[in-house]
Amino acid sequence: MEHHRQLMETLTHLAAILAKHFADPRIVGTDIKDSLMQALASYVCYPQSLRAVERIPEEQRVAMMRNLLAPYEQRPWAQTNWILVRLWRYIRLRVILLSLFIQVSLSDFLEPCPSLLLQRHMAELLSLDKDMAASFLNSVLNQLNWAFSEFIGMIQEIQQAAERPERNFVDTRQLKVCATCFDLSVSLLRVLEMTVTLVPEIFLDWSRPSAELLLRRLAQLLNQVLNRVTAEKNLFDRVVNLRLPGLESVDHYPILVAVTGILVRILVDGETSRAASVLLADPCFQLHSIQHLLGEAGDSSSSSTAAAPTLTRKHFSLHACECQSCPTAALILQVQPTSEEDLCPICYAHSISAIFKPCSHKSCKACINQHLMNKKDCFFCKATITGVEDYSKPASS
């Protein structure tokens, strides 16, 4: 008993050191910084060491979580993201099903050991500090866009290499990079699922400055992922069916589970009409992707479509018949501009609604708000933007 107490004290002391110094700006050596980050990552993998992290003073725990939620740019964000994923509540069933899908042993997976305490600290920080929340999620969405785009580019190259008659193999390094980009995409989606579950108001409370923009960006990325993964006989399917060594983890299940977790939170548990309207208004939205998640065939004549469970329909409420009668969908159809000159010249998806100062160029609010999170110059003339005002088209005389 005494030995166990001393062990916990030692683990807690080491946890305090890691929490304090893993993001210490005074440490400039790359190897030392990586070692500290890896040590912290190993601490959150096991119940005893994770409990030790929870035992350090609250002030240090909050400071650690604040550092983990700093923007991902210009730091080892993949390790940080993995730490946040480990703090989330993994589901044992997911691990079992994943082992069946990709034929790996359950021993390859670490047991789930989520931390409700650290999740609470994360929720409080993101809820109270609106600027930090916007910066953090902007960086997560940026990295997801990059990781998934890289993954799609890689599987295109793999497919082309596999089809060439003069080559019967694909470069091992190429396969490893492809699998890594896929795993990063899934883990980033998991962090988004955690965030939208713990602090849904970041996306759904439009009184927050960046909520509408973040929700639109989230819907855009979810639609892009779904369209790539669920299209019938698509590139993703062909590469998965090649069953290449090194791509065992690349499968429909892990990425669709992550996307579904986010959709359920924003469409079922949150402001359903607002989230649904944004999802439906996105130019990338395709109904067949949602039908795929529901286990329905794209062909309306299919018997499986006719036999779809009523409960599932209720939960998603995005079937064609329901969308046509949905007031939100009807509103979307009404507000779509009919003239090309009324469309935002950046995305060609939304009406022009913002004018920049002092140059007077225009775009939709979503595009300029997203742009200003990273740059301050005009899209068109590169002048420094000092302000953005609402714009409405003058009534024709």
- Could you tell me if residue 111 is inside a domain? yes
Angstrom distance (rounded) from CA 330 to CA 324: 7
Is there a single domain that holds both residue 26 and residue 107? no
Do the beta carbons of residue 38 and residue 85 sit within 8 Å? no
Is there a single domain that holds both residue 356 and residue 312? no
Q: What is the pLDDT of residues 105-161, one digit of tens each?
A: 333 445 667 889 999 999 999 999 999 999 999 999 999 999 998 998 888 888 877
- Could you tell me if residue 138 is inside a domain? yes
- Could you tell me if residue 332 is inside a domain? no
Is there a single domain that holds both residue 151 and residue 185? yes
Q: How many domains does the chain have?
A: 3
> Which residues form the domain of 97?
69-325
Is there a single domain that holds both residue 63 and residue 162? no
Q: What is the mean pLDDT of residues 257-271?
A: 82
Can you give the chain as a three-state secondary structure string?
CHHHHHHHHHHHHHHHHHHHHCCCCCCCCHHHHHHHHHHHHHHCCCHHHHHHHHHCCHHHHHHHHHHHCCCCCCCCHHHHHHHHHHHCCCCHHHHHHHHHHHCCCHHHCCCCCCCHHHHHHHHHHHHHCHHHHHHHHHHHHHHHHHHHHHHHHHHHHHHHHHHCCCCCCCCHHHHHHHHHHHHHHHHHHHHHHHHHHHCCHHHHCCCCCCHHHHHHHHHHHHHHHHHHHHCCCCHHHHHHHHCCCCCCCCCHHHHHHHHHHHHHHHHHHCCHHHHHHHHHHCCCCCHHHHHHHCCCCCCCCCHHHHCCCHHHHHHHCCCHHHHHHCHHHHHHHHHCCCCHHHECCCCCCCECCEEEECCCCEECHHHHHHHHCCCCECCCCCCECCEEEECCCCCCC
Is there a single domain that holds both residue 255 and residue 151? yes
Is there a single domain that holds both residue 62 and residue 80? no
- Could you tell me if residue 352 is inside a domain? yes
Do the beta carbons of residue 115 and residue 86 sit within 8 Å? no
Is there a single domain that holds both residue 191 and residue 318? yes
Determine what percent of the chain is predicted with pLDDT higher than 70.
77
Does the pLDDT of residue 177 top 90, yes or no? no
pLDDT value of residue 88:
85
- Could you tell me if residue 333 is inside a domain? no
pLDDT value of residue 271:
61
CB atoms within 10 A of CB 48: 12
- Which residues does residue 356 pair with via DSSP β-bridges, in sequence order? 388
Is there a single domain that holds both residue 78 and residue 48? no
Is there a single domain that holds both residue 231 and residue 366? no
- Could you tell me if residue 395 is inside a domain? no
- Could you tell me if residue 220 is inside a domain? yes
- For Cα atoms 226, 228, 231, give the angle at the middle one, nearest 5 degrees: 85
Q: What is the pLDDT of residues 330-344, one digit of tens each?
A: 444 444 444 667 777
Rg for the chain, CA atoms, rounded: 23
Higher pLDDT, 188 or 282: 188
Choose one of 67, 82, 107: the last residue of a domain: 67
- Could you tell me if residue 365 is inside a domain? yes
Q: What is the mean pLDDT of residues 251-257?
A: 88
Report the CATH number that the domain containing residue 356 is assigned in CATH.
3.30.40.10
Is there a single domain that holds both residue 123 and residue 255? yes
The pTM (predicted TM-score) of the whole model is 0.74
Q: What is the pLDDT of residues 26-80, one digit of tens each?
A: 888 888 888 888 888 888 888 888 899 999 999 999 999 999 998 876 677 888 8
Choose one of 275, 301, 325: the last residue of a domain: 325
pLDDT value of residue 117:
92
pLDDT value of residue 247:
84
Do the beta carbons of residue 308 and residue 295 sit within 8 Å? yes
Choose one of 67, 93, 122: the last residue of a domain: 67
Is there a single domain that holds both residue 128 and residue 49? no
Q: What is the pLDDT of residues 196-242, one digit of tens each?
A: 999 999 998 888 888 888 998 999 899 889 988 887 667 888 888 88
Q: What is the mean pLDDT of residues 89-110?
A: 42
Does the pLDDT of residue 92 top 50, yes or no? no
Is there a single domain that holds both residue 113 and residue 195? yes
pLDDT value of residue 349:
63
